Amino acid sequence: MTAAKDRVRLWLRLLKVVRGIEYEVRDKLRREHNTTLPRFDVMSALSRHPEGLKMSRLSGVLRVSNGNVTGIADRLSDEGLVERVAVPGDRRATVLRLTAAGQTEFASQARAHEDWINQMLSGVSAEDARAMAARLHAFAAATEAQNQTSEKEDAHAQ
């Protein structure tokens, strides 16, 4: 079955490329912005929801466990970048949202992030980028149909 081998090869290639880029992004976030990818991901999700997100919704969006988000929120909160807001009418829940300082800080990080990606992928033409994105979109839809994780937002978009 050569198709099976081709698919595995594709997977290994995808993994290598993505891990390589992710490695660079983590490194630059740490060196140039004194933060980490998980923290960036949390702030990115919050920046797309200015009214804030409930903790459980946030962990759902990012596809990580509840306890994980608790810890990251604690640390971001200690630094004044996010804040926990009580939800009126439900004393169990909390909404997490960016503070003004968090918004400013994330805007700077997001700008840099876009530049890094653009530079790292500078060898890919706009046409190639569109073609690959389309192909990936097609089979993302296919593989997601097999599973049931449809309504999750992507964790990383800005």
Residue list 55-84, contact with DNA (CB under 7 A): 55-57, 63-75, 84
Q: 63 and 7 in contact (C-beta within 8 Å)?
A: no
Tokens encoding 37: 């990818």
Binding piece for its own copies, criterion CB under 8 A, among 16-24, 52-60, 69-77, 88-96:
16-24
- Whole-angstrom CA distances from 139 to 1, 31, 107, 142, 152 are 20, 35, 32, 5, 16
- Whole-angstrom CA distances from 140 to 39, 109, 134, 154 are 25, 28, 10, 12
Binding piece for its own copies, criterion CB under 8 A, among 50-58, 77-85, 97-105, 150-158:
150-158
148 near its own copies (CB under 8 A): no
Q: 73 and 25 in contact (C-beta within 8 Å)?
A: no
Nearer to its own copies, 91 or 134 (CB): 134
- Measured from the CB of residue 72, what is the shortest distance to its own copies in angstroms? 17
Task: Name the residue among 20, 25, 54, 5 with its Cα closest to residue 158.
Answer: 25
DSSP 8-state symbol, 51: T
144 near its own copies (CB under 8 A): yes
Amino acid identity, position 141: A
SS3 86: strand
**Interacting partner of 22 out of its own copies, DNA, none (Cβ under 5 to 8 A depending on kind):** its own copies
**Interacting partner of 155 out of its own copies, DNA, none (Cβ under 5 to 8 A depending on kind):** its own copies
Binding piece for its own copies, criterion CB under 8 A, among 15-23, 71-79, 91-99, 100-108:
15-23
* Residues binding its own copies (CB under 8 A): 1-4, 6-24, 63, 114, 117-126, 128-130, 132-133, 135-140, 142-144, 146-147, 149, 154-158
* Residues binding DNA (CB under 7 A): 27, 30, 36-39, 54-57, 63-75, 84, 87, 89-95
